[in-house]
Chains A and B, each alone.
With several copies, the nearest count.
Chain A
Amino acid sequence: MKAKIEVFLKPEVLDPQGETIKRALHTLGYETVKEVRQGKVFYIDLEDENPEKVIEEIARKVLSNPVIEDFRWEIEK
């Protein structure tokens, strides 16, 4: 089955990348863009009897840094 994990910065944490991209978009004329935040996404193929548990654990323990990031996940099929 396929799972997807998104990891993103907590809202109060500075996101220099998103900030810089927003500025670049403004220069390019996309001024209707109010904010950009960048995150990571992981596409995982796995064969497991208990995918929810595994994916949750991987997201929490391995892929995200709880000090500055949050995550969400879904199992696609």
Chain B
Amino acid sequence: MKNLEKLLEEHNLTREEYERIKSILGREPNLVELGLFSVMWSEHCSYKSSRIHLKKLPTRGKYLIQGPGENAGVVEAAGKAVVFKVESHNHPSFVEPYQGAATGVGGILRDVFTMGARPVALLDSLHFGPLERPSNRAIMEGVVSGIAGYGNPVGVPTVGGEVDFEEEFSHNPLVNVMCVGIAEKEKIFYARAGKPGLSLIYAGAPTGRDGIHGATMASAEFGEETEHKKVNVQVGDPFREKLLLEATLEVMERDLIVGIQDMGAAGLTSSSSEMASKSGVGVDLYLDRVPLREEGMTPYEILLSESQERMLMVAREGKEEEIKAVFDKWGIDAVVVGKTTEGDRFRAFWHGEMVADVPVKSLASDAPAYERPYKKPNPDETWKESWTRERDWEDALKRILSSPHMASRRWIYQQYDHMVQTNTVLLPGAGAAVLKIKGQKEGIALTIDANPGWGRANPEGAAVLTVAEAFRNLACLGAEPLGITNCLNFGNPEKPDIMGQFVATVEGMKRALEFFEVPVTGGNVSFYNETQGKAIPPTVTIGAVGLVEDYMVIPRPGRVEEGMGIFLLGWTGRDLGSSLYLKVVLGEEGGRPPEINLERERLLQRELIHLAREGRFAYAVDLSPGGLLPNLAEALFHIGMGAELSIETEDEEVYFLFGESPSRALVFASGDLEAEVPVKKIGLVKGERLTAYVNGRKKIDLPLEELKKDWENFFPSLFDR
């Protein structure tokens, strides 16, 4: 072999890993085999740094049907299976924002429909660098139009998401996409190969040289030579995806296949070896039969290509022709490219000649697992007296509302078709999304949340807060959480500090989920979000699915009437650290994030769910981030009426107006409201102005329209001049 050092470096394998490969094979690997191990043992595919920690997460729950380990997780709702998962496409979106985001959507859709579910919703969590810089604007514009350019044609509504901005994302933007699908409970499909002797059918786009080593690219830092890796950009074809989706659901409907897996990272290699490994069989692949897009492709390239819009299925005995006929009807190529075998070998042939021969399990399940050294971060405990000084609250309110962190996201979501499939009962704009399930009384509520600002200050606390926030968003709609999926975005895990952030985050998530008794059903880890040594803040993205008992009576802004009371539920503490107020008004980063008392949080959420289901309030909103005043103003924009507030507080005013204490919600209701948590009536819905008296003195008096204009225009004025 030519210069081994160089070869290993190119394949992102360590010397020890190479030795391990040699001892598995009992010989030196050939180049093709080295390629196989390189992708399958990459961080992206093998979770080698994260595996031992992820195992700690709770994966049991009363609604759980399928936990982590399959293409997507599954919970039960309204007698149906809800299949969902979130995945990152961070690196590709930095290299080519439009295609990176588009193919991210394509990939997560396939993860859901491979399980036999029809995708019914997409959500996305996006993090970019500050928009003052044109390069960041270009990335954001590309990502948003890429999501639209893929999701819209496929006909899956993008019903929600979140977007925020921090300096560190300038070179490592985050694009986390979540997909939710619905299947019949008894018709879920898994990545299984059945038994020996079955045909492997390749369906979808022909294979090109796309994204060879995409998985390894996602497993390394960006450095000087990122430039040449750019050739790996993949172009998405949403039209083909739509056809692939319909054809795949049809072969499932007709019960023609045993198992199926999409060809995502590490393409043909991972899909075939993973299915075989789960069923304890071997696999033979005839690479010369794989449909190709480019001339002169080698076995190495065919095995590692990450071309989009491809599926690998294991046919039921004798059903090959019927399967092909279904795909043919939809205009999709389908060919037999291999078969399952007795034994445990993964073998690939090229015109009859064997080009790779390794144990299946060595690729799929025996990748090394590392217990990387870690050093847990010290939480930021900063707290300053100066923060609490009284200021011009009107000015603070205006600045927060028109800041990129809080301004209306309409410019984004109106580029997404969020109504196709006619299930979207609660449109984007006013909190979590609600979808109806046709033919049922029940619906599902969906939300995705992340807060890198908290993560930077205290990763463990951030994980707890983010889980609580996601569930609170659901509770405001009367929805009980059924399960979560998550995406963990970090820097280089080989650095003990970063690994420490990761461990802390997982522990926080575990603590919160165990407390709420809600399982993780799957997720994704994205490491190496680091450029020239500078890492992103640890960012945990939580995607949650909740059950709505009756979608006809959900709280919504349209139900609020003039004269209704505005009630604050919950506990207000002294939580200003890492808040929007600090960041936007005082220009200070960091500070001790809010403290959360999980018992109180649970009480609040129970009350919200109970009151919502009883129809006791018209609308409710969660207060973080931004705090009470900005979130109230935003709620009023959706309601279309003003309010008169009268607030009494013994503490410094800023805590009440802009503090970000969790375990609180604002509720709009008529009459009196009684609850098992502290309730304070703070005002009335009224007129066209927002006025607020604090301890008897008028502090805010603004026409709602004026506030709304700046909130609405922030993104259009940046992008649509």
List residues of chain A with CB under 8 Å of any chain B CB: 9, 12-16, 19-20, 23, 27, 65, 67-68
**Contact (A13, B233) CB under 8 Å given A65-B96, A67-B96, A68-B99:** yes
**Contact (A23, B210) CB under 8 Å given A14-B235, A67-B233:** no
9 smallest beta-carbon distances between A and B, as pairs: A16-B237, A14-B235, A67-B96, A67-B230, A67-B233, A13-B235, A68-B233, A12-B209, A14-B208
Instruction: Please name the residue on chain B nearest to A24 by beta carbon.
Output: B721
Which residues of B562-606 have CB atoms within 8 Å of chain A's CB atoms?
Answer: none
**Contact (A14, B237) CB under 8 Å given A67-B96, A67-B230, A68-B96:** yes
- Would you give the shortest CB distance from B217 to chain A, in whole angstroms? 13
Are the C-beta atoms of A14 and B239 separated by less than 8 Å?
A: no
Known pairs A9-B235, A15-B235. 4 more at Cβ < 8 A? A16-B237, A16-B239, A65-B96, A67-B95
Instruction: Please name the residue on chain A nearest to B208 by beta carbon.
Output: A14
Main secondary structure of the interface of B (DSSP, over half): loop
Instruction: Please name the residue on chain B nearest to A23 by beta carbon.
Output: B331
Q: How far is the CA of A20 from the CA of B205 in the complex (A)?
A: 12
Instruction: Please name the residue on chain A nearest to B294 by beta carbon.
Output: A12
Q: How far is the CA of A13 from the CA of B210 in the complex (A)?
A: 8
Q: Write out the residue numbers on chain B whose beta carbons fall within 8 Å of the beta carbon of A27.
A: 721
Contact partner of A12 (CB less than 8 A), chosen from B96, B208, B237, B240, is B208
Q: How far is the CA of A42 from the CA of B378 in the complex (A)?
A: 56
Q: How far is the CA of A9 from the CA of B96 in the complex (A)?
A: 14
Q: Write out the residue numbers on chain A whose beta carbons fall within 8 Å of the beta carbon of B230.
A: 67
- Would you give the shortest CB distance from A40 to chain B, in whole angstroms? 14
Are the C-beta atoms of A20 and B239 separated by less than 8 Å?
A: yes
Q: How far is the CA of A41 from the CA of B354 in the complex (A)?
A: 44
Q: How far is the CA of A14 from the CA of B102 in the complex (A)?
A: 14
Q: Write out the residue numbers on chain B whose beta carbons fall within 8 Å of the beta carbon of A12.
A: 208-209, 231, 294
Q: Write out the residue numbers on chain A whose beta carbons fall within 8 Å of the beta carbon of B721.
A: 23, 27
- Would you give the shortest CB distance from A13 to chain B, in whole angstroms? 6
Most buried by B among A14, A27, A68: A14
Instruction: Please name the residue on chain A nearest to B95 by beta carbon.
Output: A67
List residues of chain B with CB under 8 Å of any chain A CB: 95-96, 99, 205, 208-210, 230-231, 233-237, 239-240, 293-294, 307-308, 331, 721
- Would you give the shortest CB distance from B232 to chain A, in whole angstroms? 10
Q: How far is the CA of A14 from the CA of B240 in the complex (A)?
A: 12
Q: Write out the residue numbers on chain B whose beta carbons fall within 8 Å of the beta carbon of A13.
A: 233, 235
- Would you give the shortest CB distance from A7 to chain B, in whole angstroms? 14
Q: How far is the CA of A67 from the CA of B233 in the complex (A)?
A: 7
Q: Write out the residue numbers on chain B whose beta carbons fall within 8 Å of the beta carbon of A65.
A: 96
Q: How far is the CA of A36 from the CA of B96 in the complex (A)?
A: 24
- Would you give the shortest CB distance from B690 to chain A, in whole angstroms? 36
- Would you give the shortest CB distance from A17 to chain B, in whole angstroms? 9
Q: Write out the residue numbers on chain B whose beta carbons fall within 8 Å of the beta carbon of A15.
A: 235
Contact partner of B210 (CB less than 8 A), chosen from A9, A14, A67, is A14
**Contact (A14, B96) CB under 8 Å given A20-B239, A67-B230, A68-B235:** no
- Would you give the shortest CB distance from A32 to chain B, in whole angstroms? 20
Are the C-beta atoms of A14 and B307 separated by less than 8 Å?
A: yes
Q: How far is the CA of A51 from the CA of B265 in the complex (A)?
A: 43
Instruction: Please name the residue on chain B nearest to A20 by beta carbon.
Output: B239
Are the C-beta atoms of B233 and A16 separated by less than 8 Å?
A: no
Pairs across A and B, CB under 8 Å, 15 listed: A9-B235, A12-B208, A12-B231, A12-B294, A13-B235, A14-B210, A14-B307, A14-B308, A15-B235, A23-B721, A27-B721, A65-B96, A67-B96, A67-B233, A68-B96
Q: Write out the residue numbers on chain B whose beta carbons fall within 8 Å of the beta carbon of A16.
A: 235-237, 239-240
Q: How far is the CA of A23 from the CA of B206 in the complex (A)?
A: 14
Q: Write out the residue numbers on chain B whose beta carbons fall within 8 Å of the beta carbon of A68.
A: 96, 99, 233, 235
Q: How far is the CA of A19 from the CA of B95 in the complex (A)?
A: 24
- Would you give the shortest CB distance from B376 to chain A, in whole angstroms? 39
Q: Write out the residue numbers on chain A whose beta carbons fall within 8 Å of the beta carbon of B235.
A: 9, 13-16, 68
- Would you give the shortest CB distance from A27 to chain B, in whole angstroms? 8
Instruction: Please name the residue on chain B nearest to A14 by beta carbon.
Output: B235
- Would you give the shortest CB distance from A35 to chain B, in whole angstroms? 11
Q: Write out the residue numbers on chain A whose beta carbons fall within 8 Å of the beta carbon of B239.
A: 16, 20
Q: Write out the residue numbers on chain A whose beta carbons fall within 8 Å of the beta carbon of B237.
A: 14, 16, 19
Q: Write out the residue numbers on chain B whose beta carbons fall within 8 Å of the beta carbon of A67.
A: 95-96, 230, 233
Instruction: Please name the residue on chain B nearest to A66 by beta carbon.
Output: B230
- Would you give the shortest CB distance from A33 to chain B, in whole angstroms? 17
Q: How far is the CA of A65 from the CA of B141 in the complex (A)?
A: 14
- Would you give the shortest CB distance from A37 to chain B, in whole angstroms? 12
- Would you give the shortest CB distance from A23 to chain B, in whole angstroms? 7
